A = this chain, B = another copy of it.
């Protein structure tokens, strides 16, 4: 269940307040140059501590446990592990029977009959996305000719991001945001028919990222209000270039060689400093709740590199699958 990908396959593990979190990658080709430093840049982009992000401080040093030898991938499974060091679990003990509104606390308790690790949301924590970022670094190397870039295009409904975040912080609150991802230099024909369309595979992994509520490709929801004569992109050369790009670089689930564009909606972080109301799951009694953990005012700020990583993982898998047949 915690696995994604058919050839370039990733499996995520760990808990927010356990020993560590990380990812195991199977199916990575041998001979890719890889060492710790390669992760630095992307991990920094995900890091907490900046304006609007959680003050939890983890060094986030990747430990490459296996699959790399003399700074090159070997073809055997790669584990990237991140130790949890800055753990403060006391707050969670106190509220473990009072589910935080908007969080996984209640359903995780119910699904696992109370055996789930509730500290910091355990396996459901946003901390697990660091594994995605780790795998994304490697995925990007496999599809090195493809360029993936994401951007926060709005936060709390505003394009003036900084102002929106400040305002939320001042109000002891949080805000959502929209991340746009643009992918260039994609070869024609990535994606597989029907169930393994590019959109299917990208949306699958994107919705694994906590706090995602929507995804759209190309014209997206706007397309519902459009006409075919307006929406249809027309070929302008035999390399597949089209005059418009409402399709977002994908036809019939396959890349068409134009820019792939998709947008992801992130809800506001569930954990907010403001007092909230919940109930005690045993007694049903209404309880006031103040969340003492450390959290992000706008999780979308840190999501840019995670969205890129997710896209890279999906495309690396499709890229390797496509190579079978060439």
Contact = CB atoms under 8 A, between A and B. Distances in A.
A281 B188 CA distance: 14
A268 B181 CA distance: 23
A66 B15 contact: yes
Given A65-B13, A228-B174, A238 B279 contact: yes
B240 A106 contact: yes
Contacts of A40: none
Given A11-B11, A281-B238, A226 B19 contact: no
Contacts of A325: 29-30, 75, 320, 323
A102 B233 contact: yes
B76 A2 contact: yes
A15 to B, nearest CB: 6
A227 to B, nearest CB: 5
Interface string A3-46: 11011010111110011110010110111000000000000000
Given A240-B107, A277-B234, A122 B267 contact: no
Given A74-B122, A107-B251, A156-B227, A194 B1 contact: yes
A304 B16 CA distance: 38
**Number of identical monomers bound together in the oligomeric complex:** 4
A215 B203 contact: yes
Given A69-B116, A112-B75, A168-B227, A272 B232 contact: yes
Nearest to A211: B223
Contacts of A274: 228-229
Interface string A75-87: 1110101000000
A251 B270 CA distance: 10
Contact of A69 (B29, B81, B115): B115
A224 B177 contact: yes
A323 B173 CA distance: 39
Given A19-B63, A69-B116, A213-B219, 15 more contacts: A1-B27, A2-B192, A11-B26, A12-B77, A13-B79, A31-B115, A101-B233, A101-B242, A157-B224, A178-B224, A203-B215, A207-B253, A213-B248, A214-B217, A224-B300
Interface of A: 1-4, 6-7, 9, 11-15, 18-21, 24, 26-27, 29-31, 63, 65-67, 69, 72-77, 79, 81, 99-104, 106-108, 110-113, 115-117, 121-124, 128, 154-157, 168, 171, 173-178, 188-189, 192-197, 199-201, 203-208, 210, 212-238, 240, 242, 246-248, 251-256, 265-272, 274, 276-279, 281-282, 284, 300, 320-321, 323-326
